[in-house]
Structure formats: C-alpha cells, structure tokens
C-alpha cells in the first residue's frame, strides 16, 4: 500500500535490525620508497625502509596478531589456521606461521620478563602446572612438556606462564629463586626439596598447602 503524500519518513515503514557477519579480508600493502639521484652525479638517496615487526619479514602487525590470537587465544592449531586462510584464497603454510610465532615470542620477551619481576614481588603467589604434548622429531610419538602458571596477588594481577620440557623441580626452582613471600601450591614433591633450603630459594618464604587460605 503506498504511503500518503503528506506522510513523514518515520511513517513510511518500520526499521528492522538483522545481525550479519562480514568476513575479514587480507590485503597486500605496497610500501613505495622514493629514490633520488643527484643531477651532478653526487650520489643516490632513498627513503629508509619502514620498521617491521620481524626484520626482513613480510607480515604486518595485524596479520601476526591474527595468527597469535587464533593459536593461543582461540586454541586453533596451525594446520586449521592454514585451512582458514586457504578459504580466503591465501596460501600460508603452517611452517611459515610457526616461524612467525617464534619471532613474536622474541618480540614480547621483555614484557614477559617484566611481568615475572612484578609477580615475584607479590605477598603471595599461586602456582600450578599442566601437561602439554610436544612434538619431537627424534621420537615416533609426542613427549610430555609442562606449562607452569604463576599468579600474582590482587595488587599485582598478572598471570605468567613458563614452559619446561619435563616435570622436574628445576622449573619452579629457577623461576621462583629469590622470591620472598608465600607460595600456594599442590602436593607436588618437587616443592619439598626446594624448601629444605628455604633461605636459598625463598629467603625464609613459606609454602602453603593447597587447602590453606590466603588473605591477599
């Protein structure tokens, strides 16, 4: 039915909102660096190359962030991320992305070191570990590594992860050396040896049982 001639815009129909998904897109950005030559043959000058996250690397920061969040935030293995990029018409091998993530780990290592320093100034630290399968080219099947988690108190609300290739006490010994405070942990026997010489590792710190309350 046509609207009356004197009808206002808001009277001509109802607005309906419909959620829609617009897929992400990948772009190739060309960086042009002008080069100039002196007319009197005194030399050639060119603009400096823009800074890149990975030296001599092609990926931009947005692409690196996408791969990192997909792998570590969304827990997608690189082979699935590879398939997702293929649906976008982009061939990006998992080996290449693995090299990128190793380079990104080096880039953020100063942030990790600083977070560790702050966590170890906490009055109390909570810790636990979880097993993770690790590929090993020298073996026909995976081996078991460990991810150790260290949580600061309410005034230092950081969570720091540390990887070790096994479940020995050496991992927490190295990470916690010099810590002066309370440690809340489970009954893992590796902590027992550490507290035989509390002065060396914790400067008089105290190990709390898993069921013992901590007031932060």
104-145 pLDDT per residue, tens: 999 999 999 999 999 999 999 999 999 999 988 888 889 999
Same domain? 156 vs 84: no
Please say if the pLDDT value at position 8 is more than 80. Answer: no
Q: What is the pLDDT of residues 164-203, one digit of tens each?
A: 999 998 999 899 988 888 888 888 888 777 666 555 445 4
Stated as kind and residue range, the H or E segment containing 127 is strand 124-134
Are the CB atoms for 185 and 210 separated by under 8 Å? yes
Assigned domain for 25 exists: no
pLDDT of residue 210: 41
Total count of domains within the chain: 2
Return the CATH number at 195.
3.30.420.10
What domain range includes position 166?
Answer: 120-208
* Distance from C-alpha of 127 to C-alpha of 8, rounded to nearest angstrom: 65
User: Of 108, 128, 145, which closes a domain?
Assistant: 108
CA 42 to chain centre: 49
Stated as kind and residue range, the H or E segment containing 81 is helix 78-87
Same domain? 126 vs 204: yes
Rg (CA), the chain: 27
């Amino acid at each position: 039915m046509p609207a009356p001639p004197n009808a206002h815009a808001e009277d001509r129909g109802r607005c309906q909102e419909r959620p829609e998904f617009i897929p992400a897109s990948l772009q190739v950005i060309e960086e042009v660096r002008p080069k100039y030559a002196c007319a009197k043959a005194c030399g050639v000058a060119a603009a400096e190359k823009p800074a890149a996250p990975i030296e001599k690397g092609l990926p931009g920061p947005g692409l690196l962030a996408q791969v990192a969040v997909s792998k570590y935030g969304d827990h997608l293995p690189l082979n699935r991320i590879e398939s997702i990029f293929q649906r976008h018409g982009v061939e990006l091998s998992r080996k290449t992305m693995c090299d990128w993530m190793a380079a990104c780990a080096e880039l953020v290592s100063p942030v990790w070191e600083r977070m560790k320093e702050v966590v170890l100034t906490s009055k109390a630290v909570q810790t636990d570990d979880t097993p993770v399968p690790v590929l090993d080219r020298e073996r026909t099947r995976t081996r078991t590594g460990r991810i150790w988690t260290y949580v600061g108190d309410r005034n230092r609300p950081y969570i720091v992860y540390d990887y070790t290739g096994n479940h020995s006490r050496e991992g927490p010994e190295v990470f916690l050396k010099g810590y002066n405070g309370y440690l809340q942990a489970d009954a893992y026997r590796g902590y027992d040896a550490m507290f035989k010489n509390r002065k060396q590792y914790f400067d008089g710190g105290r190990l709390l049982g898993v069921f013992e309350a901590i007031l932060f």
